[in-house]
Amino acid sequence: MSKKITVGPVGYMPQSAPSMGVELSPEGKALLYGNIVDEKEAMRDAAKALLTMDNPTIFPGPQVLWDWRDDVADKSAAILELASEIPNCKIIPMPDYRPKYPKIDVKAEINPNHPNLTILDNKIKACVFIGVHCHYANLTLRMIRAGTSCYTVAMCAMMGHEEAMASLRDVHADNILAFRDVVIEVRNELGIEHTPTMPPENPSLPKEDWGSLTPADYGEYRSLIMSRKGEHVAEVE
Amino acid sequence: MSLNKKLVDMDYLLNEAPREKHFITGAQAMSEAVKRASVDMAIAYPITPQSEVMHLVGDIYAQGHIKEYYRAEEELGTMSAIAGAARAGVRLFTATSGPGLLRGLEAIVSWPGHRVPCVLGVLTRVINAPLSIQPDNIEMAYLMHSGIIMLHAENQQDTFDMTLAAFAITEKVDVYIPVSVSTEGFFVTHAKGYVEMMSEELAFTENDPYHAPVPAMDNEVPPARIQRDAPVQKSNFMSYLIHSVWQQEIWDSNRRAMKYIYQYLGGPIEVQNPGSDVMLVASGCAAAQAREANRYAQEEGLSVGFVKVRSIRPWPKDEIRAALKGSKAIIVPEHNIIGWLCKEVQASIPNSGDVIEGPRVYGGMTLPVELIMTEIYDALGMKSETLQA
């Protein structure tokens, strides 16, 4: 297979994958290095990358971080199961798309405006994006391909992403669990011994004490939550 | 007001639903398409010289086919309101023309980057001084580098079909940028033609703002504050590279729309007699005149072919190149002085020197078929017998 889309860094000004002739895969198919392939083939290549490259990381986006739709909880639980089957896997969220002031905490999160900071600082060589809105996923994947040597996997609930080395489309909880099974299969073939282990806690986040939460603990998201009786939330963005 | 329409997908609506023939103006055709598109909101500054489109859309709002109609103060306000309403996740329609389009242009060219799905009717008219309200499609040149998808309707039927298709294309998750449907003011908007339309009891499936590549801003449902914040306005805190890849993404989205133009409209071009010695390439109502010139040429046994360009953006470079392969002369009739279509054709083929720049009419002038025939005769080395007196 000739690889149209390769692991970077491809250079200062990346050419976009669609402008290089890469087209999104039809339903039931996947993209691997810009070529339309069977889902299983893309899953196996992605699994091998996550199992053999340094610091594999899953980047969950807003669509799986917020329990805003019926299927989100199942999907998020499946992501944790997938992470537990990948040795040394971390989870670093992309909770929103706004630039970070004054500086991003690269151990705590990734941001589409400067994704390379998180990739490079954590020396991530293989990663999975899931639950990121397509527009921001495309931007992020292209910037990672431009400036890092990280293998990218896109697990998209919609049509997939041309920019990723491996792109799976129409991904829901069942598909994530199917990918987990492929990871186990490839892991066994590679002779990698592993006991399912949940990823480590995000080191930059303080321990949460759910019993004493106040609106102030939600910081910039406080306007999302209901105010307490009698409380007047005057300061919002 | 709910009219209890039967909601169907665009494939059925455009390609399968039974149709009846009506004799209506281009402005009515655009309005009738809007009537069947489950539009949530129309926004406009419906000044009279544009066309009757937004007045007629006002009528169908009053009849309950549209949920909201906001009459803005002027075009910049109109187009800005479109961007704002898109953030609330509603299906939108507006229309303008000429000077109004240019007044709204600052907002319009920001729509693709802000991932605003909407349909923009452009009923072309003169923009340059001396002031005129006559047809001339030079304003389309100003949209060509904005990232917007641009369809160009030849006649009333095209206006109807393209406007309907535009609502489906603009909301595709791999597209999600605005679609403009242009047609010539007066020649199409004010003239009647036959339009085959499906029942108005049918309408396009309603918009799902959550099936989108960007978050819909919904302050009640998370992720609410993960909205389309504008990092481009905060460049101290972002990589300049994101602006570059963002711009790429708009043009990639434009490129991805091509498959839907095939799906709903049969492709970006229509070709008759490809590879003939002389090829006519035209869009909009110039295509109607070129089509007629081609018919004359066939009656005279001349080696002439015809390409109608439906999609200006995405530009069908490969299709144009294939259709014109082997031709010795390419004639591009247009309704503007600068020849924006001619320049696109020249840039698409290896033998650009074979492109004849014209005939062009502008400022409200009509485009007689004889003017095109003269160019055909000249290209074939024949003595022209028309318009010589």
Q: What single string gives the DSSP state of each residue in B117-157?
A: --EEEEEE---SSSP--S---THHHHHTTSS-EEEE-SSHH
In the structure, what pLDDT confidence band is assigned to residue A69 with cuts at 50, 70 and 90? confident
Q: Which segment of A41-55, A212-226, B107-121, B308-322 scores lowest on mean pLDDT?
A: A212-226
Report the percent of chain A where pLDDT is more than 70: 89
pLDDT above 90 (res A83): yes
Of B215, B237, B256, the CB nearest to A101: B237
A34–chain B nearest CA distance, Å: 15
| A-chain residue closest to B225, CA distance | A221
In a domain, residue A142? The reply is yes
Query: How much is the pLDDT for B89?
Result: 87
Per the structure, the count of domains in chain A is 1
Judge: B173–A139 Cβ closer than 8 Å, yes or no: no
Could you check whether the bond before residue B46 is cis, i.e. omega within 30 degrees of 0? no
Judge: A134–B245 Cβ closer than 8 Å, yes or no: no
Q: Which residues of B touch A99 (CB under 8 A)?
A: 231, 234, 237-238
A30–chain B nearest CA distance, Å: 15
A64–chain B nearest CA distance, Å: 10
The answer, for B318 touching chain A at a CB cutoff of 8 Å, is no
In a domain, residue A236? The reply is no
The residues, ordered by sequence, that sit 6+ positions from B180 with a Cβ below 8 Å of its Cβ are B119, B120, B121, B122, B143, B148, B149, B150, B151, B166
Q: Which segment of A76-80, A212-216, B233-237 scores lowest on mean pLDDT?
A: B233-237
C-alpha span between B113 and B108 (Å, rounded)? 10
Judge: A113–B225 Cβ closer than 8 Å, yes or no: no
Q: Which residues of B touch A142 (CB under 8 A)?
A: 245, 248-249
In a domain, residue A196? The reply is yes
Judge: A138–B245 Cβ closer than 8 Å, yes or no: yes
B44–chain A nearest CA distance, Å: 28
In a domain, residue A211? The reply is no
Per 3-state DSSP, what percentage of chain A is helix, strand, and coil (rounded to 5)? Answer: 35, 10, 55
In a domain, residue A44? The reply is yes
The residues, ordered by sequence, that sit 6+ positions from B97 with a Cβ below 8 Å of its Cβ are B49, B50, B51, B122, B123, B124, B125, B139, B185
- Asked whether A143 and A128 are in contact (CB, 8 A), the reply is no
The size of the A-B interface in CB pairs under 8 A is 107
Of A13, A19, A112, the CB nearest to B244: A13
Mean pLDDT over residues B304-319, rounded?
Answer: 98
Model pTM? 0.91
- Here the tokens at position B115 are 């991932």
Q: Which residues of A touch B210 (CB under 8 A)?
A: 69
Q: Which residues of B touch A63 (CB under 8 A)?
A: 223
SS3 state at B23? strand
Q: Which segment of A42-51, B243-252, B290-299 scores lowest on mean pLDDT?
A: B243-252
Residue pLDDT, tens place only, B25-68:
999 999 999 999 999 999 999 776 678 999 999 999 999 999 99
Of B213, B221, B246, the CB nearest to A134: B213
A173–chain B nearest CA distance, Å: 18
In a domain, residue A216? The reply is no
Interface of B with A in 205-224 (CB under 8 A): 210-215, 221-224
In a domain, residue A225? The reply is no
Interface of B with A in 141-180 (CB under 8 A): 173-174, 176
DSSP letter (8 states) at residue A217: G
Report the percent of chain B where pLDDT is more than 90: 81
Mean pLDDT over residues A145-152, rounded?
Answer: 96
Residue pLDDT, tens place only, B137-193:
999 999 999 999 999 999 999 999 999 999 999 999 999 999 999 999 999 999 999
Q: Which residues of A touch B249 (CB under 8 A)?
A: 16, 135, 138-139, 142
Report the percent of chain B where pLDDT is more than 70: 91
Q: Give the Cβ contact number of residue A23 at 10 Å.
A: 16
Interface of A with B in 113-152 (CB under 8 A): 113-114, 116, 133-136, 138-139, 142-143, 146-147
Half-sphere exposure of B52 (CA within 13 A, CB side): 17
- Here the tokens at position B347 are 């840039």
The answer, for B247 touching chain A at a CB cutoff of 8 Å, is no
Mean pLDDT over residues A74-88, rounded?
Answer: 97
**For residue A80, what is the domain's CATH number?**
3.40.50.1220
Q: Where are the alpha helices (DSSP H) in chain B?
A: 10-15, 26-35, 53-62, 75-87, 98-103, 105-108, 139-143, 156-170, 240-256, 258-265, 285-299, 317-324, 340-348, 369-379
Mean pLDDT over residues A92-103, rounded?
Answer: 81
Mean pLDDT over residues A101-107, rounded?
Answer: 82
Q: What are phi and psi of A167, to 5 degrees?
A: -125, 120
In the structure, what pLDDT confidence band is assigned to residue A219 with cuts at 50, 70 and 90? confident
Comparing C-alpha atoms, which of B125, B122, B75, B60 is closest to residue B98?
A: B125
Angle at A38 between CA A32 and CA A44, to 5 degrees: 65
pLDDT above 80 (res A206): no
In a domain, residue A219? The reply is no
Comparing C-alpha atoms, which of B254, B95, B246 is closest to residue B169?
A: B254
Judge: A133–B212 Cβ closer than 8 Å, yes or no: yes
| A-chain residue closest to B237, CA distance | A99
- Asked whether A51 and A87 are in contact (CB, 8 A), the reply is yes
- The residue with greater pLDDT, B198 or B241, is B198
Q: Give the Cβ contact number of residue A14 at 10 Å.
A: 23
DSSP letter (8 states) at residue B37: T
**CA distances (Å), origin A43, targets A7, A175, A192, B38, B135:** 16, 10, 17, 40, 56
Bridging pattern class, strands A166-168 and A29-32? antiparallel
- Helix H or strand E segment including A138: helix A134-147
pLDDT above 90 (res A39): yes
Host domain of residue A49: 18-205
- Asked whether B82 and B116 are in contact (CB, 8 A), the reply is yes
Q: Which domains does chain B have, with CATH numbers?
A: 6-204 (3.40.50.970), 269-379 (3.40.50.920)
| A-chain residue closest to B219, CA distance | A224
Mean pLDDT over residues A96-114, rounded?
Answer: 84
Judge: A113–B239 Cβ closer than 8 Å, yes or no: yes
- Asked whether B114 and B121 are in contact (CB, 8 A), the reply is no
Q: Which residues of A touch B111 (CB under 8 A)?
A: none
pLDDT above 50 (res A148): yes
| A-chain residue closest to B230, CA distance | A98
Q: Which residues of A touch B225 (CB under 8 A)?
A: 96, 220-221, 223-224, 237
Query: How much is the pLDDT for A231?
Result: 61
The answer, for A18 touching chain B at a CB cutoff of 8 Å, is yes
